[in-house]
Chains A and B, each alone.
Chain A
Amino acid sequence: MPMHSFGKEHAMNAAIEHKSAGSALEGLRSLAGARDRFDLSAADLLPRQIEAANELLQDRVGRIRLLRNRAEASGITSIREPEDIVPLLFAHTAYKSYPEAWLTERKWDRLGKWLETVSSHPITGVDVGDVRDIDDWIDRLQAAGHFVSCSSGTTGKSAMMNGSAADMEWSRGDSVGSFSWGSGVNPAQDRKIFGLAPVASVPRNLVIRDALVKAYGLPGLTPFIYPVPPITIGQITGMVALRKSMADGTAKPADIAAYEANSARRQQALDDAVGVCAEALVQARSDKLFLSGMWASLYKVAEAVRARGFGGKDFHEDNSIYIGGGLKGAVLPPNYRQFVFETFNLSPSRVFQMYGMQEINTGMPRCAAGRYHVAPWLMCLMLDQSGEKLIPAVGEVEGRAAFFDLSLEGRWGGVISGDKITVNYGKCECGNRSPSIRDDITRYADLAGGDKITCAGTIDAYVRGVT
């Protein structure tokens, strides 16, 4: 992606020019290359965003059945103000609304039909006659231009979200652009790349990894990839299927024992990987590195590096790091951040963190003031806890996060998340005027509390293990 240095006026003018030349949507998308794209205020952008949202509605309403259903139910035929978007937002659960039995019983034609109800493009030309398993089905969809990403949640159902080739291309540009903006590191193909966490092997993740490797990695050098077998959708859904058969009472003790043995092997591989990573990092300590990982695994690797007698000044002073996700339930000592940064000689300005979710295709990079910024083609709509009412976009607002990613092509970009966030629609301490999200994101599901007791319930309460 070209990284032109536009002034703010340039960026706004560019958006307006594109509008007169083409659509509001194209105008907003063209801001992706503007260096100061995060300095545009929500209020200034709103008229164009609303226009772009309406363009998308008109284009998609006849193509995405769930959207048509929502539009009919709410009587909304065009988007004129933010309130009009709310009834058209999909709950994050819409992408897991398929019956799980279709997965476990391998009913690929029905799953395809379901996927079509939440996709922009018809799913045609996919021969499902001899599909072996879910991974195979997803590969065939990809060959037909449908890039299905699944949430890698380890419990319950996987969400399945369709993306187009254009979305994958957008993801490439957005991930490099976000990283550059958030870490201040220009893509100069001058680093050794280290992936230090297991990654779910879904198209979007692979595309992002590839884009970062090409932009930042030394040409011709194979990146270091966390040495465990990748987590596939098949493995995730296999667990879901076992859970279901346990609930049905059809799982045999041997099935459960086999699963547990497999989990133990995987845990062993994860544990062994830590030492392998540490060795490789020690070897490469004088090179300029691009690290990526999640806190839990980064911390373990850092410990192993320290145990080998290395850390701090042994590593290159210009190292950078991409940290994905939060703690994900890991329990680490209070100084874990400092410990990781010091081990690899990372200065805070070279650390990249972002807020994002599989449901949208645009990341929100963290600024110097520690807040996550919203790009011009991404609308951050704040709702009340129930997700029904829009909260006015003025000042600092707390509530349920909803987003409309205007860049999404292969599906509808409007989603209600399960996240509770605080967003500031005013100017951020870092100097940028785009909406910024405070670093205290929690999930509403985690807040529900432990007070519930009722005699009505399901067999799920009787299934132990398999998480």
Chain B
Amino acid sequence: MNSVARVDTVTVDAGDTAIRVNHFVRGKLVSGASVRHRSRDLGADFTTPAIDLDALVTPRSEVPPLLDVKLTEIVDFLVETGQRLTLERNPYLQESLERVAATNPLPRRVVENLYSGARHYLTREVLMSSIESNFSNPACLDGWVSRTDMFGLHGAIRAFPPRMIHMLAGNSPAGCMSSIAQGALVKAINLFKMPSSDPFTCVAVLRTMADIDPDHPVVRSMSAVYWRGGDESIERTLYRPQYFDRIVAWGGGDAIKNVIRYLGPGLQLISFDPKTSISMIGPEAFGSDATIAEVAECAAADVAVFNQEACLASRFIFVEGERGAIEKFCAQLQSRLGVDRETASAKAPGLPQETRDEIDVLKMMDDEYRVWGKFDGAGMVILSEQPVEFHPTGKTVNVVRVVSLDDAIRYVNVATQTIGIYPPERKALLRDRIASAGGQRVVRLGSAARHVMGSPHDAMYPLQRFIHWMADEDA
């Protein structure tokens, strides 16, 4: 078969100001400016090398490069990578940061913080806890594990490495670091499809790995490229069970709709679906002005995280209490939303016109709705008796008064990911009904962005679903 490149390859001028995007294919850096694209969020122009589709596929006649590499060695390699992912000392990350600023709506400083935060995912403790919570016997990742059933029949199982496409999410530039780690831990052959809002970070991390050892099997198992999501000339060709076993997608939207067309026997989607997060606050929060202030700060932290671009950012707060005290809380909350934080800037990007219109109208219906804040990005709070119908973004939160938190459960559905609860003792009383309604995670109010290592994500243990579970039976 010939090597197939993109047909719409264009000539790019030498004096072109478009940002250069590099690809990384099975351990090797690929440069070139053959195809021109425009980023979805900020409309920045960038160029990529032409894609050689053959190079992105490892024939099934070849066993995965990581098959016989011990998990401990992989973890060592990831930990060393993590140590090198410090912005001050890593030129690849520095360059990536500069470029991400042109394509991603997150403020530069937030991206910096995300980089430094994600590095902490690549520690031995975290990686091992991920393995231990996903696999009852991690030894099956390193070899064939014998077992005997209740009839005395013998067999062996192996967590065999899959061939995976990771569709990286655009709203969290550091998300690729955990995807790379996950792919390495299950010893997969990995193709990362980068998003137009960050076609840089993933390659920067892979180059950092290649600097440690260019021939390391982890490095040889990784490719990262950009194509425009939905590009049939690539997706129709690549998304086949002959080439890949799993497509892992973070998020929803049109990108997922495109992928679903190609699913079938042998090619499965593991989807971290698009989510909304909420908060629930009991009457205990309104006992004193000091408590109101404290709870408002916790609520604001959960709303503002990643400037509310992430799935775990709260958008609706259901409160039980007296209207007067709740209004005090709303005012406090609004002022705390304007605070500059590690993962949020003082001013978030503006709201879409459609949402502004709806808020303007709600303001006019003043007997039922009250609004704190302005359209200046510093945060808005809308108090109402029923949830608003728009999707609050840009540090906008809807405080909804309910008779009791039990009534708030009907607003939980299969798209509800994280529910921050105050006081925390209420979690135990609510969690079963929240799970039944479709919710996936209850946390203490104010800690939505903190995680207990080894917890499931979106109601699943993803690593075990990546695996090609292979059986050898002597029945």
Are A66 and B360 within 8 A (Cβ)?
yes
Chain A positions 139 through 152: 1 when the CB is less than 8 Å from some CB of chain B, otherwise 0? 00000000000000
- A298 CA to B412 CA in the complex, in Å? 46
- Residues of B close to A99: CB separation below 8 A: 362, 386, 388-389
- A66 CA to B357 CA in the complex, in Å? 9
- A113 CA to B357 CA in the complex, in Å? 16
Are A456 and B313 within 8 A (Cβ)?
yes
- Residues of B close to A65: CB separation below 8 A: 364
Chain A positions 88 through 118: 1 when the CB is less than 8 Å from some CB of chain B, otherwise 0? 0011011001111100000000100110010
- Residues of A close to B253: CB separation below 8 A: 452-454, 457, 461
Q: A449-B40, A451-B254 are in contact. Are A462 and B415 (CB under 8 A)?
A: yes
- A97 CA to B253 CA in the complex, in Å? 23
Are B251 and A69 within 8 A (Cβ)?
no
Q: A455-B171, A457-B275, A462-B415 are in contact. Are A450 and B252 (CB under 8 A)?
A: no
The answer to whether A249 has its CB under 8 Å from any CB of chain B is: yes
Q: A247-B413, A456-B309 are in contact. Are A451 and B274 (CB under 8 A)?
A: no
Q: For residue B420, give the distance in angstroms from its CB to the closest CB of chain A.
A: 16
Closest to B375 in A: A73
- A303 CA to B19 CA in the complex, in Å? 53
- A171 CA to B358 CA in the complex, in Å? 29
Are B257 and A455 within 8 A (Cβ)?
no
Q: For residue B429, give the distance in angstroms from its CB to the closest CB of chain A.
A: 21
Q: A91-B353, A452-B170 are in contact. Are A457 and B361 (CB under 8 A)?
A: no
The answer to whether B58 has its CB under 8 Å from any CB of chain A is: no
The answer to whether B87 has its CB under 8 Å from any CB of chain A is: no
Are B276 and A117 within 8 A (Cβ)?
no
- Residues of B close to A90: CB separation below 8 A: 357
CB-CB contacts below 8 Å: B236-279 with A:
249-258, 272-276
Q: For residue A187, give the distance in angstroms from its CB to the closest CB of chain B.
A: 39
- Residues of A close to B195: CB separation below 8 A: 451, 453
Closest to A416 in B: B353
- Residues of B close to A455: CB separation below 8 A: 169, 171-172, 250-251, 272, 274-275, 310-311
Per a CB cutoff under 8 Å, which of B308, B357, B363 touches A91? Answer: B357
Q: A91-B353, A248-B413, A458-B391 are in contact. Are A452 and B361 (CB under 8 A)?
A: no
Q: How many residues of A contact B (CB 8 A)?
A: 34
Per a CB cutoff under 8 Å, which of A91, A454, A459, A462 touches B309? Answer: A454
The answer to whether B196 has its CB under 8 Å from any CB of chain A is: yes
Closest to B388 in A: A99
Are A450 and B415 within 8 A (Cβ)?
no
Chain B positions 297 through 331: 1 when the CB is less than 8 Å from some CB of chain A, otherwise 0? 00000000000111101000000000000000000
The answer to whether B62 has its CB under 8 Å from any CB of chain A is: no
Per a CB cutoff under 8 Å, which of A117, A449, A454 touches B274? Answer: A454
- Residues of B close to A387: CB separation below 8 A: 353
- A30 CA to B95 CA in the complex, in Å? 64
Q: For residue A455, give the distance in angstroms from its CB to the closest CB of chain B.
A: 4
- Residues of A close to B391: CB separation below 8 A: 458
- Residues of B close to A117: CB separation below 8 A: 361, 364-365
Per a CB cutoff under 8 Å, which of B229, B272, B357 touches A94? Answer: B357
User: Counting chain B CB atoms within 10 Å of each CB, which of A90, A101, A462 scores highest?
Assistant: A462
Are A462 and B388 within 8 A (Cβ)?
no
- A101 CA to B358 CA in the complex, in Å? 13
Are B256 and A453 within 8 A (Cβ)?
yes
Q: For residue B209, give the distance in angstroms from its CB to the closest CB of chain A.
A: 24
Are A456 and B275 within 8 A (Cβ)?
yes
- Residues of B close to A248: CB separation below 8 A: 410, 413
CB-CB contacts below 8 Å: B101-143 with A:
none
The answer to whether B228 has its CB under 8 Å from any CB of chain A is: yes
Q: For residue A258, give the distance in angstroms from its CB to the closest CB of chain B.
A: 22
- A117 CA to B365 CA in the complex, in Å? 9
Are A457 and B388 within 8 A (Cβ)?
no
- Residues of A close to B353: CB separation below 8 A: 91, 93, 387, 416
Are B386 and A458 within 8 A (Cβ)?
no
Per a CB cutoff under 8 Å, which of B274, B364, B413 touches A456? Answer: B274
User: Counting chain B CB atoms within 10 Å of each CB, which of A110, A113, A454 scores highest?
Assistant: A454
Q: For residue A401, give the distance in angstroms from its CB to the closest CB of chain B.
A: 15
- A455 CA to B309 CA in the complex, in Å? 9
Are A93 and B414 within 8 A (Cβ)?
no
The answer to whether B188 has its CB under 8 Å from any CB of chain A is: no
- A69 CA to B196 CA in the complex, in Å? 38
User: Counting chain A CB atoms within 10 Å of each CB, which of B250, B313, B415 scores highest?
Assistant: B415
The answer to whether B75 has its CB under 8 Å from any CB of chain A is: no
- A230 CA to B391 CA in the complex, in Å? 33
Per a CB cutoff under 8 Å, which of B251, B276, B310 touches A458? Answer: B276
Closest to A110 in B: B365
- A94 CA to B414 CA in the complex, in Å? 30
Q: A453-B255, A456-B309, A457-B253 are in contact. Are A100 and B361 (CB under 8 A)?
A: no
Q: For residue B38, give the distance in angstroms from its CB to the closest CB of chain A.
A: 9
Chain B positions 388 through 402: 1 when the CB is less than 8 Å from some CB of chain A, otherwise 0? 110100000000000
Q: For residue B107, give the distance in angstroms from its CB to the closest CB of chain A.
A: 17
Q: A69-B364, A97-B361, A455-B169 are in contact. Are A249 and B254 (CB under 8 A)?
A: no
- A319 CA to B429 CA in the complex, in Å? 74
- A90 CA to B258 CA in the complex, in Å? 34
The answer to whether B149 has its CB under 8 Å from any CB of chain A is: no
- Residues of B close to A69: CB separation below 8 A: 360, 363-364
Q: For residue B106, give the distance in angstroms from its CB to the closest CB of chain A.
A: 12
Are B274 and A457 within 8 A (Cβ)?
yes
- Residues of B close to A91: CB separation below 8 A: 353-354, 357
The answer to whether B230 has its CB under 8 Å from any CB of chain A is: yes
Closest to A247 in B: B413
- Residues of B close to A451: CB separation below 8 A: 40, 195-196, 228-230, 254-255
Q: For residue B152, give the distance in angstroms from its CB to the closest CB of chain A.
A: 46
Per a CB cutoff under 8 Å, which of B249, B358, B388 touches A453? Answer: B249
Are A459 and B196 within 8 A (Cβ)?
no
The answer to whether B224 has its CB under 8 Å from any CB of chain A is: no
Q: For residue B164, give the distance in angstroms from its CB to the closest CB of chain A.
A: 16
The answer to whether B33 has its CB under 8 Å from any CB of chain A is: no
- Residues of A close to B228: CB separation below 8 A: 449, 451
Q: A93-B357, A97-B358 are in contact. Are A453 and B365 (CB under 8 A)?
A: no
- A455 CA to B251 CA in the complex, in Å? 4
- A451 CA to B258 CA in the complex, in Å? 9
The answer to whether B174 has its CB under 8 Å from any CB of chain A is: no
- A457 CA to B413 CA in the complex, in Å? 12
User: Counting chain A CB atoms within 10 Å of each CB, which of B40, B256, B360 scores highest?
Assistant: B360
User: Counting chain A CB atoms within 10 Å of each CB, which of B170, B274, B310, B386 scores highest?
Assistant: B274
Q: For residue A21, give the distance in angstroms from its CB to the closest CB of chain B.
A: 38
- Residues of B close to A449: CB separation below 8 A: 40, 228, 230, 254
- A66 CA to B362 CA in the complex, in Å? 11
The answer to whether B167 has its CB under 8 Å from any CB of chain A is: yes
- Beyond contacts A449-B254, A451-B228, A462-B414: 19 other A-B pairs, Cβ-Cβ < 8 A, are A90-B357, A97-B360, A99-B386, A110-B365, A248-B413, A449-B40, A450-B254, A452-B40, A453-B251, A453-B256, A454-B252, A454-B253, A455-B251, A456-B171, A456-B274, A456-B308, A458-B274, A459-B413, A461-B415
Q: Closest 8 CB pairs between A and B? A: A457-B274, A450-B230, A450-B254, A453-B255, A455-B311, A459-B415, A451-B229, A452-B253
Which residue numbers of A lie inside 8 Å of B, CB to CB? 65-66, 69, 90-91, 93-94, 97-101, 110, 113-114, 117, 247-249, 387, 416, 449-459, 461-462
Provide a sorted-by-A list of 16 A–B residue pairs whose CB atoms are within 8 angstroms: A66-B361, A94-B357, A97-B357, A99-B362, A99-B389, A114-B361, A248-B410, A450-B257, A451-B195, A451-B230, A452-B170, A454-B252, A454-B253, A456-B310, A459-B414, A459-B415
